[in-house]
Amino acid sequence: MYVEKKKHYEARAKILKALAHPSRLFIVEELQKDERCVCDLTDMIGADMSTVSKHLAVLKQAGIVTDDKRGNQVFYRLRVPCILNFFGCVESVLESQVKEHAEALAGLGKESF
Amino acid sequence: MYVEKKKHYEARAKILKALAHPSRLFIVEELQKDERCVCDLTDMIGADMSTVSKHLAVLKQAGIVTDDKRGNQVFYRLRVPCILNFFGCVESVLESQVKEHAEALAGLGKESF
DNA sequence: TAAGTACATGGCTATATGGCCATATAGGCA
DNA sequence: TGCCTATATGGCCATATAGCCATGTACTTA
């Protein structure tokens, strides 16, 4: 039953929620390449630094990234290397939507004449 | 740059957001086993049927499930089979948190005497 | 047709989120 | 020390979300 495993699902939902924002997805993809400081990410995203800093705090608190202060700057990197695989599935949801849409259009063509 | 790919990230974030709720994760895991009607899911989750119905609408609109009305009931099933793999990574985030915590405790033990 | 079952939707409230600006904190350098 | 840069935090507002209850819709069965 659900109630027994509720904690289980809540923990997982928290992580997904932390990922579920366009800017945070961008950050994760960037960090896949290499670590980045807040200023770099801020430039790339084009939002207020305070906003980016909060996004990073969300990712950090979810256990997705760690930070590392060096001098003046704070560098963030992924704590877990697998996030990429992770997106294979998201992609396939998107692809199946495209496919279905194409089929719907094809079907439309067939039926309309 | 981020701006150019913003649509891209928004589409993916939408899917993750749809998954980022304990009840919806539960639903997805249930549907991995087999299709389910709304009433079954409602019983299992123990919330109002209207609430469950709305969760299903969220999953459907994100392209994660489809529905199939048969007689009186509506059966939902996954549109994309891979969601399970998908969670391998979420798990590893959780595991790395546990591990780190354990290490922190071990370190604490070492340093405190 | 009438009544019952299974869902969906609208309305409402409480709470969370994202964004900016303003301000605080911390390190580097003169 | 004092100023500059990089980052974090608090305050605030607009919007989104989750939940329930009440109601609407569609199918079934009598």
Chain B residue with Cα closest to A16? B20
Q: Check residue A5 and give its pLDDT.
A: 84
Q: Check residue B70 and give its pLDDT.
A: 96
| Shortest Cα–Cα distance, B67 to chain A (Å) | 14
Q: What is the mean pLDDT of residues B8-20?
A: 92
Mean pLDDT for chain A?
Answer: 83
List of chain B residues whose C-beta atoms are within 8 Å of the C-beta of residue A51: none
Asked if residues A45 and A30 have their Cβ atoms less than 8 Å apart, the reply is: no
Nearest nucleotide relative to A74: CA against C1': D7
What per-residue string of b and e applies to A32-70 under the rule 16 or more CB within 10 Å gives b? eeebbbbebbbebbeeeeeebeebbebbeebbbbbbeee
Interior angle at CA A91, CA A86 and CA A93, nearest 5:
110
Nearest nucleotide relative to A60: CA against C1': D8
A20 has a pLDDT exceeding 80: yes
Q: Check residue B102 and give its pLDDT.
A: 61
CB contact under 8 A, A96 and B79: yes
Q: Check residue A111 and give its pLDDT.
A: 31
Q: Is the CB of A66 under 7 A from strand D?
A: no
CB contact under 8 A, A97 and B63: yes
Size of interface A-B (CB pairs under 8 A): 126
A113 has a pLDDT exceeding 70: no
Q: Check residue A95 and give its pLDDT.
A: 67
| Nearest-angstrom CA–CA distance, B94 and A12 | 8
List of chain B residues whose C-beta atoms are within 8 Å of the C-beta of residue A97: 63
Q: How do residues B39-85 score in pLDDT, each as one tens digit?
A: 999 999 999 999 999 999 999 999 999 999 999 999 999 988 776 56
A107 has a pLDDT exceeding 50: no
CA(B42)–C1'(C17) in Å?
Answer: 28
| Nearest-angstrom CA–CA distance, B101 and B83 | 28
Q: How do residues A61-71 score in pLDDT, each as one tens digit?
A: 999 999 999 99
Q: Check residue A99 and give its pLDDT.
A: 62
| Residue B20, CB-side half-sphere exposure with 13 Å CA sphere | 16
Q: Is the CB of B37 under 7 A from strand C?
A: yes
Q: Check residue B81 and give its pLDDT.
A: 74
| Nearest-angstrom CA–CA distance, B78 and B32 | 7
| Minimal Cβ distance to A13: which of B11, B25, B63 | B25
List of chain A residues whose C-beta atoms are within 8 Å of the C-beta of residue B97: 63
Beta strands in B1-112 (DSSP E): 36-37, 65-70, 73-78
Residues 53-112 of B with CB under 7 A from strand D: 54-55, 58, 69, 71-72
Asked if residues A31 and A81 have their Cβ atoms less than 8 Å apart, the reply is: no
Q: Check residue A76 and give its pLDDT.
A: 97
A91 has a pLDDT exceeding 50: yes
Q: Check residue B41 and give its pLDDT.
A: 98
